[in-house]
Structure formats: C-alpha cells, structure tokens
C-alpha cells in the first residue's frame, strides 16, 4: 500500500472515474429538465466577497458565523461560497439583468463550501444544483420552482420523499412572531440547550430547528407562525398550496419549518427522504423578496431552491437506481513489436477522427497484459497487430463479447466500425 504524503482535507472528497459517470448522468439529467422548464444556466465564481455572504445569508446564521472558509489577500476579503443564491443576486445586480425586463429563470450547479462536521451526506465541499426565479411575486413562481425541484427526483424514480411547506411571513409578521417566541421561551430559558439559549438572543426562530433532545418538548408546545401571518402572507401561502394541488405535487404543511438562512420571506420548503439517514434534506428553498434590494439592487421579488447532489446520489444508491455506467471503449489496438506499435499509434487518429473511442498500450506491456487492459476498459473490439499483419495488411479484428475474429484491411475495419 502506498503511504501518501498528502491527502484531501477533512470533508473534501475526490470523485474518481467509476463515480464520475454517475455525476455526469445526473448533471445531464438536470440540464435536460432545466431545458424543459426553460431555466438558463448561470455560472458565478467560487470566491465571493465576505461582505456579500454575511449580508446575504445573515450574520447570525451558522453558515456565516461558524462555517465560512474565508481569507484575506491585500485589501480584499474572500470567502468560498457556501451557497449560490447570494452570488446569483450579486450577478443580477452587477450586470443590470433587471433591464432585460420580465421574469428571469436561472439554474446552476457546482461546488459549495461549508466548514461543517463531516458525516454521511454532509461534506465541507459539496455540490448543489439550484434554481432562482427573479422578478415575480406571484405564487405561480413558487409553484414553478417547486415543480422544477421535484421533477428531477421523480424523473429518477425517487418518489418516497416528503415536501414540507411553510410561510415564514414578511418582516412585519415575523417580528410579531419572534416577539411571541421570545415571550414563550424566556420563562423556561434554563431548560433550553446552550445553543438555543444563545439563539433566543440572536435568532429565536432558529430554536425551532434545534435537534437537541432537551429542546424538543418546549418546541412542540411553541406558538406557530401560521397564527402570526398577516393577511397578505397567509393568502400567498394558500395560493401556493392551491397551485401545488393542481400540479398533483403532494406536500405537508409544517408550521415549524424554518430554514438555516436569513433571507427568506413568506414561502419556505424542504424536500426530505427517509433513505438519507440523519441528514435527510434533499433540498430546500423559498422566497426572498427583499434580498436583491438589500444587496443594493432594485426591488425584485424572487424565489429559489438548491439541492445537494451528494444526497441525491445517496438516495439513488439506497433505492438501487442505476445511474451512468463506465463508458465502453470502441477499439483497443493490441500490438506485438515496435513496428506494430508505431503503426497503431498512427492509426488511432483515423479511428478517433471517425468518432470512435480508441486506445492502445503506451507502457510497453506484454500482449497478455494488453488483452487484460482491453477487458478492463470494456473494449468492444480489439485490433491485433504484429509483423505478419503489417506485411499482409490484414489485421485481426476481434469482437470481445462474442469472441469471434476476422481478418480485414484497415479501411474495411474503419468502415465496419463506423457503420455499426
Ligand atoms: P440549504 O438548505 O442551505 O439552501 O442547502 C440546500 C441543500 O444543499 C440541502 O438541502 C442539502 O441537500 C445540501 N447541503 C447543504 N449543506 C451541505 C453539506 N455540508 N454537505 C452536503 N450537502 C449539503 C441553500 O443553500 C439555499 N441557497 C437554497 C435557496 C436557493 N433558497 C433560495 N434559493
């Protein structure tokens, strides 16, 4: 066994050939579905300004207060993006995308970084795909974004999921609710976990998200936000529910659903799967009507979601859903001797130019080792070349699955393989 001098940092994972094909399969499925929903791809840098993330995601959130990978260089403060929404908002403002008019629908995929304690389904570099609709306050936009999220899971056959839906209200409703929560928890503050005691001061709604056992009884009896929603917010939620009903998308009303990011207004939702273990959220999102304005842009009501690709893969594995497989190799040229090697190296090009995948030994190995490699690389055909074949210009083409061979000129081999 090798004794490596270096290994990946905690929570950072290599994705090796074998796994990568599954990723490519999922990524191409995401692109297909994005096309049918007519969302356009947006790519933003992995490094953002710390101020953007602190303002966008919220200073008191775990993501900003504990989990940022941040560094300074000269006068600039960089952060590895922990999520995509703040970046898409920044790009929307920076490039005046609102001037294009109408509603804009974006999707993205890529790595995100949070310095969390790694466990199954939780990494420090993980991957999200997400989507944002900017410029619509209509509940139809909320239903459209949820439909997009759900479509991917359904298309893969992941159906035993739970969609939880809530409204976290607008700032007015939320202030009233926060006050009620503080009044409720304050007399029993000593019964709360340390972390929830802190949150009572900084961000009382986050107590509802606590997993600490000692908090659960109090949380169960806590007032629910539904009772504090003003008429506009309550109406918005009812309309989202109706649109989801019409689409046949099942959901569970969960008045205790709060999300770990501060920018939400009104709709909040999360999709979970029992196949994931303790980190059971496949994805989540909600409406953020004030964020773009808060970041210096024009008032732009928006809604979005993001979902973890690692968790999607875990769910597929648990359900034995087949994803991409190892790519086959069309032709492997097996060579005997130096001249054969030179010939083979030249003839890879016409094969490849014809669109076939072609490979050969480039480490001076025996014919036996070459045949082994052809098997391992799932070669459909081997082309066997030695001195005799070079003289007669007739090469042995072997079908690996059916174990039959024939001798042909190279031009005929090319024709045959391209024509298949
Ligand atoms: P989030 O709930 O923080 O939302 O993350 C979305 C999803 O990313 C989670 O449900 C989970 O599947 C995955 N995820 C998060 N952290 C990790 C981790 N450490 N390891 C593996 N997977 C993880 C957002 O990020 C918002 N930007 C969603 C949004 C978009 N809201 C509006 N627009």
Mean pLDDT, rounded, for 64-76:
96
Query: Ligand 1 within 6 A of 55 CB?
Result: no
Cα 178 to Cα 111, 199, 224, 268, 391, distances in angstroms: 34, 11, 10, 17, 87
Please state, in angstroms and rounded to a whole number, the distance separating the CA atoms of residues 398 and 160: 46
Residue 368: strand, helix, or coil: helix
Which residue CA neighbors atom 14 of ligand 1 most closely? 308
Give the mean pLDDT of the chain: 95
Who wins on pLDDT, 357 or 260? 357
Mean pLDDT, rounded, for 381-406:
96
Rg (CA), the chain: 28
Which residue CA neighbors atom 5 of ligand 1 most closely? 306
CA 305 to centroid of ligand 1, rounded, Å: 8
Q: Using one digit for the tens of pLDDT, what is the confidence trace for 359-369?
A: 999 999 999 99
pLDDT level of residue 106 (50, 70, 90 thresholds): very high
Cα dihedral 152, 158, 164, 170 in deg (nearest 10): -10
pLDDT at 419: 87
Is 164:269 a contact under the CB 8 Å cutoff?
yes
Strands (E), 12-120: 40-41, 47-49, 70-73, 76-80, 104-113
- Looking at ligand 1, which atom is closest to the CA of residue 282? 12
Residue 282: strand, helix, or coil: strand
Please state, in angstroms and rounded to a whole number, the distance separating the CA atoms of residues 390 and 245: 70
pLDDT at 209: 87
pLDDT at 186: 94
- Taking 90 as the threshold, does the pLDDT of residue 300 lie above it? yes
pLDDT at 2: 82
Query: Ligand 1 within 6 A of 85 CB?
Result: yes
Which residue CA neighbors atom 15 of ligand 1 most closely? 308
Query: Ligand 1 within 6 A of 273 CB?
Result: no
Tell me the angle at which helices 20-37 and 309-318 cross, rounded to the nearest 10 degrees: 110
CA 320 to centroid of ligand 1, rounded, Å: 24
Cα 338 to Cα 105, 253, 409, distances in angstroms: 58, 72, 20
| Ligand 1 pocket test, candidate residues 48, 280, 284, 311, most atoms within 8 A of CB | 284
CA 45 to centroid of ligand 1, rounded, Å: 18
CA 83 to centroid of ligand 1, rounded, Å: 7
| Of 152, 156, 101, 115, residue with least CA distance to 130 | 152
pLDDT at 241: 98
- Looking at ligand 1, which atom is closest to the CA of residue 83? 25
Cα 213 to Cα 11, 14, 217, 258, distances in angstroms: 26, 35, 8, 18
Please state, in angstroms and rounded to a whole number, the distance separating the CA atoms of residues 357 and 355: 7
Joined together, the tokens standing for residue 260 give 């770990």
Mean pLDDT, rounded, for 63-71:
96
pLDDT at 420: 72
Mean pLDDT, rounded, for 322-339:
94
Q: Using one digit for the tens of pLDDT, what is the confidence trace for 339-358?
A: 999 999 999 999 999 999 99
pLDDT at 88: 98
Task: Kindly state the percentage of the chain with pLDDT values over 70.
Answer: 100
CA 371 to centroid of ligand 1, rounded, Å: 46
Q: Using one digit for the tens of pLDDT, what is the confidence trace for 156-215?
A: 999 999 999 999 999 999 999 999 999 999 999 999 999 999 999 888 998 998 989 999
CA 46 to centroid of ligand 1, rounded, Å: 15
């Amino acid at each position: 066994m090798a004794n490596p001098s270096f290994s990946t940092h905690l929570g950072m994972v290599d994705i090796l050939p074998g796994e990568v094909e599954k990723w490519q399969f999922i990524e191409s499925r995401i692109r297909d579905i994005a096309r049918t929903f007519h969302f356009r791809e947006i790519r933003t840098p992995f490094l953002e300004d710390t101020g953007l993330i602190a303002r966008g995601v919220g200073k008191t959130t775990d993501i900003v207060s504990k989990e940022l990978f941040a560094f300074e260089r000269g006068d600039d403060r960089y952060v590895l993006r922990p999520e995509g929404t703040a970046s898409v908002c920044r790009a929307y403002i920076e490039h005046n995308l609102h001037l294009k008019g109408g509603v804009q629908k974006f999707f993205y995929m890529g790595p995100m970084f949070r310095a969390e304690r790694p466990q199954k389904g939780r990494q420090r570099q993980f991957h999200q795909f997400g989507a944002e609709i900017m410029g619509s306050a209509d509940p139809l936009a909320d239903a459209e974004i949820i439909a997009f999220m759900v479509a991917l899971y359904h298309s893969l056959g992941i159906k035993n999921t739970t969609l939880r839906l809530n409204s976290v209200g607008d700032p007015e409703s939320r202030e009233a609710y926060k006050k009620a929560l503080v009044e409720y928890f304050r007399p029993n503050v000593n019964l709360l976990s340390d972390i929830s005691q802190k949150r009572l001061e900084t961000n009382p709604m986050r107590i509802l998200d606590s997993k600490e056992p000692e908090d659960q009884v109090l949380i169960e009896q806590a007032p629910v936000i539904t009772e504090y929603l003003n008429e506009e917010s309550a109406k918005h939620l009812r309309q989202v529910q109706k649109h989801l009903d019409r689409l046949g998308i099942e959901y569970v009303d969960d008045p205790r659903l709060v999300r770990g990011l501060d920018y939400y207004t009104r709709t909040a939702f999360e999709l979970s799967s029992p196949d994931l273990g303790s980190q059971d959220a496949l994805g989540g999102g909600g409406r953020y009507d004030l964020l773009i304005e808060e970041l210096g842009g024009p008032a732009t009501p928006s809604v979005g979601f993001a979902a973890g690709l690692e968790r999607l893969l875990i769910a597929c594995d648990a359900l034995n859903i087949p994803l991409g497989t190892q790519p086959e190799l069309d032709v492997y040229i097996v060579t005997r001797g130096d001249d054969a090697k030179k010939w083979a190296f030249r003839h890879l090009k016409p094969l490849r130019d014809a669109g076939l995948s072609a490979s050969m030994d480039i480490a001076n190995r025996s014919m036996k080792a070459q045949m082994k490699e052809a098997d391992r690389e799932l070669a459909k055909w081997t082309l066997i070349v030695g001195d005799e074949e070079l003289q007669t210009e007739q090469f042995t083409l072997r079908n690996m699955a059916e174990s039959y061979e024939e001798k042909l000129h190279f031009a005929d081999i090319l024709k045959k393989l391209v024509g298949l």
